[in-house]
Structure 1
Amino acid sequence: MSNSYEYFNTLTLVFYLMVGMPLIFFVLIYLQYEEVGGLKPTESIMWLPHIVLPVGVLICLYFAYSLYAKQLRQRQASAFREKLRAFHEASLYKYGLLSLANFLAIIGMYFMGEQIFAGLYAIALVVFSLNRPTHHRITKDMQLSKEEQQWLRSDKNFDEL
């Protein structure tokens, strides 16, 4: 990462890859079920798919945020580049857990073919999409000074700062 453009380009690419991979599987599985009449409503509750998978999704969502916050607190970086590096690393873990939450919903939909899992996936996807890397998110989460905010928005090489 040598400048703001490269930094955001890398972060955004990782974000969209982590969102897109489960989305591709969702679409393929959804279309597969549409060919045979669509997803069916849940008629009876079973322990593993209807309790464990949604709880697993919630646990992934919870840990995505709690581990992210914990990592940022532990990495009390003072240098600008170190702050960006800390944000990047913490975001990768958060995106991984959010992606896992999406995959758990897709697994339930694949094996059960029920609408509830498509809804669970939609909820997990919305939560994931709220975490797109932006200037505002980095500024807020890393508590950047006014000067660092200007650096983040500039096209200067980070080595020049």
Structure 2
Amino acid sequence: MPSNAQLIETARRRRFVLRERRQGSSYPDIAEATEEEFGADRLPSGWDERYAYKDVKRALQKVRADLEETAEEVRMMEMQRLDAMLEGLWTDAIAGETDAVHAALKVMKRRANYLGLDEPEELDVTAGTDPETIETLLEALRDYPEARQAVADALDSNE
């Protein structure tokens, strides 16, 4: 098991290689810069560009995990806020006070949205089926091949 000092050194090295990669350095250049920065004797045995690649990959995985954790924390905080709002509105809403009912429904809709409970809205492709509109729509979906195919299929079925 690595010591605390080793863990700290590894974290410093990974921050360094990630910064180098973000600046556009190649892996051979990162390996060389890391050796200059830390000294060959303080690097893992066999340090080279492959090791630099692994360090960059692991550093990016940590960044991704931290972002996911942060997003989940924000989501939970937002859910708690929505719950508190709904709790404050609930008595008036169930008593039939129109403004409170509307406000409660908005809070509930936002909550359902956060939780992914609502079905996606259907796309009405019959509204504008002139060739220019169709071409514009399909071009807008160029980067979304599944959606583009679904629109094309829906258009074919309407003919």
Q: TM-score range by the shorter chain?
A: under 0.3
The TM-score with structure 2 as length reference comes to: 0.25
Q: Which has the larger radius of gyration?
A: 2
